[in-house]
Structure 1
Amino acid sequence: MILFPAIDLKGGVCVRLRKGAMADATVYNADPAAQAEAFRAIGFPWLHVVDLDGAFAGESRNGAAVDAILARLGGEMKVQLGGGIRTEPQIAAWLDKGVARVILGTVAVRDPDLVRRAARRFPGRIAVGIDARGGRVAVEGWAETSELTAADLAARFEDAGVAAIVYTDIDRDGVLAGINWAATIALAKSVSIPVIASGGLASMEDIRRMTEPDARRLEGAISGRALYDGRIDPGEALAILRAAAPAPEGARPAG
Structure 2
Amino acid sequence: MEIFPAIDLKDGKAVRLTKGLMQSAKIYSDEPWELARRFEEMGSKWLHLVDLNGAFAGEPKNLEQIEKIRKNCSLKMQLGGGIRDEDTIKRYIDMGIQRVILGSVAVKNPGFVKEMAKKYPIVVGIDAIDGYVAVEGWAKTSTMKATDLARAFADSGVEAIICTDVGRDGTLSGVNVEFTVSIAEASGIETIASGGVRDIEDIRKLLETGKVAGVIVGKAFYEGTIDLKEAFELVRS
Identify the TM-score tier after normalising by the shorter chain: over 0.9
Task: Quote the residue 2:100 is aligned against.
Answer: 102
- How far 1:211 sits from its partner (Å)? 2.2
2:168 to 172, 184, 202: 172
Residue equivalent to 1:159: 155
Which one of the candidate residues 221, 229, 234 is aligned to 2:228?
A: 234
* TM-superposed deviation, 1:82: 0.2
Q: In the TM superposition, what whole-angstrom CA distance separates every residue of 1:78-120 from its partner, at most 9, and x where no partner exists?
A: 0000000000111011011100000000110111111111100
Quote the residue 1:135 is aligned against.
131
* Displacement after TM superposition at 1:121 (Å): 0.9
1:218 and 2:212 matched: yes
Ranges in structure 2 where 5+ consecutive residues have no aligned partner = none
Kindly indicate whether residue 4 of structure 2 is the aligned counterpart of residue 8 of structure 1: no
Asked if structure 1 preserves the Cα contact closer than 8 Å seen for 2:152 and 2:187, the reply is: no
Of the candidates 86, 111, 114, which is equivalent to residue 113 of structure 1?
Answer: 111
Structure with the greater alpha carbon radius of gyration: 1
After TM superposition, which residue ranges in structure 1, 4 or more long, deviate above 2 angstroms?
Answer: none
Helix, strand or coil for the counterpart of 2:167? helix
Q: In structure 2, how many angstroms separate the alpha carbons of the residues matched to 1:227 and 1:68? A: 22
| Contact 1:88–1:114 under 8 Å retained in 2 | no
Amino acid at match of 1:192: G
Corresponding letter in the other structure for 2:225: R
* Count of equivalent residues: 237
What is the 5 A alignment of 1:32-51? 32-51=32-51
| Letter of the structure 1 residue corresponding to residue 124 of structure 2 | V
Gaps of 5+ in 1: 244-255
CA shift at 1:228, angstroms?
1.0
Q: Distance in 2 between matches of 1:113 and 1:33?
A: 34
The question of whether the paired residues in 1 share the 8 Å contact of 2:177 and 2:206 is answered with no
Q: Does 1:206 align with 2:202?
A: yes
Instruction: Give the superposed CA RMSD.
Output: 0.8
Amino acid at match of 1:142: W
Correspondences of 1:76-91 after superposition (within 5 Å): 76-91=74-89
Supply the distance in 2 between the matched residues of 1:233 and 1:194 (Cα, whole angstroms).
25
* Secondary structure of 1:108's aligned partner: helix
Q: SS of the residue aligned with 2:232?
A: helix
Q: Which residue of 2 aligns with 1:246?
A: none
Query: Per-residue deviation at 1:210?
Result: 2.5
CA distance in 1, matches of 2:162, 2:133: 12
SS at match of 1:40: helix
Matched, 1:69 2:69: yes
